[in-house]
Structure 1
Amino acid sequence: MVTVSRRSLGQLMSVCAAAALTITAFTLEARADVVTGEAAPAFSVQTATGEALSLDSLSGRTVVLEWTNHGCPYVQRHYGSEHIQKLQSAAAEDDVVWVQIISSAPGEQGYVEAEEALSLNEERGAAPAHVVLDPEGDLGRLYDARTTPHMYVIDGDSVLQYAGAIDDQPRPRADSPEPTDYVTMALTAVGNGESPDPAQTQPYGCNVKYAY
């Protein structure tokens, strides 16, 4: 018969509770005011280069919002393979506005100041149209951004058309099939005046490092 001390049992219960919270964080339903097919939450922010940027100012153009954290292994994989750089380049050719957003809080993984954020993109050959620093997490919480990466596609009428993962392969292997690129699919659908299918997927990656 195995005897478990109260202390060990308490530690085990704490671990189980923490694991349950982690799972819950990735399975909660999206906030009621962040719904695909409905108006995207309006925002007004300042970019890393000091420009004013609002959703209203982008009216008439398709917009991609990309939540990122350069220290996250999932983000590193997509930038290391130049997947995101290719998406950004294709978006620019189609006059799509790509907005990269960093919601990591000071002292947390991925936190950068404006100069470093811009330098990182230059080093990686990345070219988002705008970079937005969101250390207080206001914009991230407004959109219910949960992971890095977490992707959103908004059409020219400011309707949120897609929200979720960048593709369908969180942990690809050497023998994995070609990934389904949800962002490209959504942009193609929006460009054709259609609704993306799927319009929402489960995001994967590192938790957004919000200030608490």
Structure 2
Amino acid sequence: MKWSNQFPTKATSPPNTHAPPPHPPRLPGHPGQLRRPGNRQARPDFTAKDKDGKTVSLADFKGKTVVLEWYNPGCPYVKKFYDVGAMQNAQKDAIGQGVVWLVINSGKHKLNDAAGYLPRHP
């Protein structure tokens, strides 16, 4: 069967229910569309502790390109991309070009719980 974005080509085909919404999502109580910060626009600062307990601030990397990776060791997609080395390769390539790559553990696992996972997935 051939599919189009709007209508199936055969009467027995189910309709395409995976079409994108007609408009971008809106913030609750905000009449306009969501806006993304432009390139080179300052991002809000934040601080967090690194794996060694040292406080790191986004402001520490002012003027540099920073990638923020939200990491959850319980996520099957995270596991897949780390298990095949895809994330490590992307990190090494970016860091080799002077990019700062910060990994933020957004899972329920605390640092001590993730300590066994980190050596296997540097």
Q: State TM-score, norm by structure 2.
A: 0.63
Identity of aligned residues (%): 31
Post-superposition offset of 1:32: 5.4
Which structure 1 residue ranges, 5 or more long, are not aligned? 1-23, 105-110, 127-212
Post-superposition offset of 1:34: 5.3
Post-superposition offset of 1:118: 3.7
For residue 3 of structure 2, what is the aligned residue in structure 1? none
Matched positions, count? 95
1:58 corresponds to 2:55: no
1:123 corresponds to 2:111: no
| Structure 2 counterparts to residues 183-194 of structure 1, below 5 A | none
For residue 37 of structure 2, what is the aligned residue in structure 1? 35
For residue 81 of structure 1, what is the aligned residue in structure 2? 84
> Given residue 37 of structure 2, which amino acid in structure 1 is its aligned partner?
V
Structure with the greater alpha carbon radius of gyration: 2
Deviates more, 1:76-85 or 1:33-42: 33-42
- Residue by residue over 1:108-144, the C-alpha shift from the partner in whole angstroms, topping out at 9 and shown as x without a partner, is xxx22213334312112x2xxxxxxxxxxxxxxxxxx
Counterpart-to-counterpart distance in 2, 1:113 and 1:88: 22
1:112 corresponds to 2:115: no
Counterpart-to-counterpart distance in 1, 2:71 and 2:26: 21
Which structure 2 residue ranges, 5 or more long, are not aligned? 1-20, 28-32
More helix, by proportion: 1
Counterpart-to-counterpart distance in 1, 2:88 and 2:26: 30
- In structure 2, do the counterparts of structure 1 residues 79 and 58 end up closer, same or farther at CA, with 3 Å as the change threshold? same
> Given residue 118 of structure 2, which amino acid in structure 1 is its aligned partner?
N
- In structure 2, do the counterparts of structure 1 residues 101 and 90 end up closer, same or farther at CA, with 3 Å as the change threshold? same
- In structure 2, do the counterparts of structure 1 residues 77 and 44 end up closer, same or farther at CA, with 3 Å as the change threshold? same
Q: Is the 8 A contact 1:34 1:41 kept in 2?
A: no
Runs of at least 4 residues off by over 4 Å: 29-34
Q: Is the 8 A contact 1:61 1:96 kept in 2?
A: yes
Counterpart-to-counterpart distance in 2, 1:77 and 1:29: 32
Post-superposition offset of 1:92: 2.3
Q: State TM-score, norm by structure 1.
A: 0.39
Q: Flag the structure with more relative contact order, 1 or 2, with Cα contacts below 8 A and sequence separation at least 6.
A: 1
